[in-house]
Chains A and B, each alone.
Chain A
Amino acid sequence: MTKKTPELNRRGFIKATAAGALVTGAPTIFTSKAYGYANDPGSASSVTLGFNVPQSGPYADEGADELRAYELAVEHLNGGGDGGMLNTFSSKALSGAGILGKEVKYVTGDTQTKSDAARASARSMIEKDGAVMITGGSSSGVAVAVQALCQEVGIIFMAGLTHSNDTTGKDRKANGFRHFFNSYMSGAALAPVLGNAYGKDRKAYHLTADYNWGYTTEEAVTQATEAMGWETVNTVKTPLKETDFSSYIAPVLQSDADVLVLNHYGGNMVNSLTNAVQFGLRDKMVNGKQFEIVVPLYSRLMAKGAGANVKGIYGSTNWHWSLTDEGSKAFVKSFGEKYGFPPSQAAHTCYVQTLLYADACERAGSFDPCAVVEALEGFEFDGMGNGKTLYRAEDHQCFKDVLVVKGKENPDNEFDLLEVVEVTPVDQVMYEPNHPQMGGAEATLGSCNAG
């Protein structure tokens, strides 16, 4: 008997609701497909961007720096601050009055550097907050997963820090764009510099982080160095969660290799490099040559972690705050004034991506993903810190000069850890869209999806 009363109440409640619905007029019902495109801001006074960055987990430092850059970009887009790169950007479509006259707002999510969590937070930003664009991330696995999601639901994805070939290679998507460079470019830029510095008859030993990014980097570096005359003695995969690499370094001493390539990133690289230096690898002479270590992908945050061990070690990077072109100077200045220290390469690429998206919307005159794709494809620009840059239409990858850097021998301060050795011109790192490392002939963008 006690059970019956609430049930009657519930039924009564539903009846009342239904009656109320009739009284207030028939509710407007439509399916998601009835929109012109997904999350059309329509006549709203603001537009929402979704910043999906790792706020916890191994890449939380990069994520925090990315978020700072995004906040700065939104400030500049809305006309705040000193305008940063808006003043140096070759396209003058943006005026500091938001995007297409709408104020830019943003929501943030935590990718946790897991593709499931990243997709869940991206979906919540799209479904709940109505984000028109998703950007960010600090891992290629996450970038590929979120890019695929954005393709399915018809939202633009502007990749953050992702260096694996696959993002714009075999997993490229029409709705996804990458400004950051990739493994192939690292290999192509590093090989000639290494050849000049260490000679063309070296024997290399690779330690590779056992996941997708490690594989493509190893492939890119071995192919580029072998083409130059180096020999690859051995390639060993190391678990991503490894923190002590001594058991992997010891066999290097037994082999007759005279170069160690560490295809590691973040904390992995800090630990493996420290172990290698502790084992005295850099003081060794093998085959009558000085033993050398190479780190294909460098970042300032990693150099900071490894401390004095990075001195004299070669690597490549997408951007460095010590560059002296107008764009970089403007960005470093406004970032430094706001946060008190120079930005990382992750911050740079995220800032630029946001501006590029806003500019594309402005030029296209719409937030429609297909119009934005059209505006970005084949877009050439300058003044964003990397010199003249092309967003290639075939794979949505940016082509620009690549920096080869070296750990500084005598750093002046805690941020001045890397010095630019060479700026490899873009022609040298160019490749065909259907290059075998990029998924070959099978890889296609598909066509843009507007939701």
Chain B
Amino acid sequence: MLGLKFSDFALFMLVVLCVALAPILLNPFPASSELAQFNAGYPDLLQRFVIFGVFAVGFNILFGLTGYLSFGHAAFLGIGSYAAIWMMKLLTMNVIPAIILSVIVAGVFSLLVGYISLRRSGIYFSILTLAFAEMSYALAYSVLTPITGGETGLQPKLSDPRILDAELSAGESPAANLFGIGMRDSYIVNFGDWVFTFNAGYYIAGLFLLVAFYLSIRIFRSPFGTMLRAVKSNQNRMSYTGLNTKPYTLAAFVISGMYAGLAGGLLVAMDSQVGPERMFWTASGEVVLMTILGGAGTLIGPVLGAGAIKYMENILSKINETVLKGWFEFLPDAASEWVVLFLNMFTGKSWHLTLGLIFMLVVIFLPGGLVEGGQRIARLFGIGKKRNQTVESDSAASK
């Protein structure tokens, strides 16, 4: 089906279903309950889930398959974003040209960076990509301020040319759209005490995730993918057999750069603004975390990792002291104070600590990431044995 074998097709269908139902699945708690704090089904976060999913899926094609650890992927995301916003400012607020250009520009730039960086491997490759990303960040932050808007970044303005768009009527501000469907348009369904928001922008971004995910499955299962895995397992052996590996690694690098550009373009499409900190090295580190947390070299892992990190960043960080106090009011004063003090070390502004702990636990106990965790649980209940074998043979091949 769709050129996929059954297990891959089932996985793909599962992803399709999750993307389609995410606004419901991620809003399990009634809006008025205390637990509504943990609901993640609002448009901004849903959009971030799928966009960073695209980013991580692309990164995984390079890191998961070839083992080349790029520490500068945020640069491609940022460049894609800048390309997209300029398209919106100059041409039209329709997101299609913006997204297309962001992919192309990021592809060209990654060709340049990849051509130079891939002359080295291992840590030297990582450092080279990091250097390029930092350079791009510095350029965007200050040197190229006339083009990038410096620290302030860029937003669409009333005075932009937008040559393809019709004149805005009075009081209207330029809004990103797809042939008239606004990215912010939502259908809100009230179902008893539950509120579900079905956002147009989210479903458009979700569609891109599905395409990106499908392509990634095809790449994983293709001879090209096998070649990339061979690079990871022993590049020297490949070279001794007389094969030039560079075109393969460069192709993987450019593909993952284009994925990053697509993610950047989608970010702009959903929320039309760009700032240089999008290219900062911590942003590059984040996608590495996402991929490893979810499971490098697996198909679904990066998407899970992206979701987990964005969830913690947006939900955990909002649980501040006042919220905690509200939860533990029922305890005696002294006890509630200690509990709040203790939990406050892991939530609110200290959410990074929780992320760090989870990351350590995953790396130590589940080297295969969340995907391995899922497999272990499945094995515990004695289901999915058949699938386990295929997945294991995958990961064996990728080692």
Contact = CB atoms under 8 A, between A and B. Distances in A.
Interface in A214-232: 215
B152 A110 contact: no
Given A444-B158, A444-B159, A31 B318 contact: no
Contacts of A188: none
A115 B44 contact: no
Contact of A127 (B44, B151, B171, B278): B44
B345 to A, nearest CB: 14
B348 interface: yes
A56 B173 CA distance: 32
A211 B277 contact: no
Interface residues of B, number: 53
B43 interface: yes
A124 B273 contact: no
Contacts of A27: 189-191
Interface stretch (B125-133, B179-187, B214-222): B179-187
Interface string B114-156: 0000000000000000000000001001100100001111010
B175 interface: yes
A144 B318 CA distance: 22
Given A2-B384, A55-B349, A141 B17 contact: no
Interface in B378-399: 383-387
B188 interface: yes
A108 B318 contact: yes
A413 B352 CA distance: 36
Interface in B1-42: 6, 10, 17, 39, 42
A184 B12 CA distance: 57
Contact of B170 (A21, A56, A164, A447): A447
Interface string A30-69: 1111000000000000000000000110001000000000
B159 to A, nearest CB: 6
Contacts of B191: 21, 24, 27
Interface string B58-86: 00000000000000000000000000000
Contact of B153 (A141, A213, A444): A141
A85 B352 CA distance: 37
A166 B384 CA distance: 59
Contact of A446 (B45, B158, B349, B352): B158
B185 A212 contact: no
A3 B10 contact: yes
A10 B10 CA distance: 13
A145 B39 contact: no
Interface string A112-125: 00111101110110
B349 A32 contact: no
A116 B275 contact: yes
B245 interface: no
A127 B273 contact: no
B142 A124 contact: no
B318 A171 contact: no
A354 interface: no
**Interface size bucket, A side?**
35 or more
A151 B152 contact: no
B273 A110 contact: no
B158 A212 contact: no
A355 to B, nearest CB: 21
A382 B157 CA distance: 34
B197 interface: yes
A259 interface: no
B171 A447 contact: yes
Contacts of B348: 55
A107 B273 contact: no
B171 A32 contact: no
B384 A145 contact: no
Contacts of B185: 31-33
B171 to A, nearest CB: 4
B223 interface: no
Interface string A128-145: 100000000001110011
A151 B189 CA distance: 25
A32 B175 CA distance: 15
A382 to B, nearest CB: 33
Contacts of A104: none
Given A29-B189, A442-B159, A237 B142 contact: yes
A117 B276 CA distance: 12
Given A2-B383, A31-B186, A128 B42 contact: yes
Closest 8 CB pairs of A and B: A115-B275, A211-B151, A123-B44, A141-B151, A55-B349, A447-B171, A148-B155, A127-B42
29 contacts: A2-B386, A3-B387, A28-B190, A29-B189, A29-B190, A31-B187, A31-B188, A32-B185, A55-B349, A110-B349, A115-B273, A120-B48, A121-B317, A121-B318, A124-B45, A124-B314, A128-B44, A141-B152, A145-B152, A145-B153, A149-B273, A152-B175, A153-B184, A166-B152, A171-B152, A171-B155, A210-B141, A212-B151, A239-B138
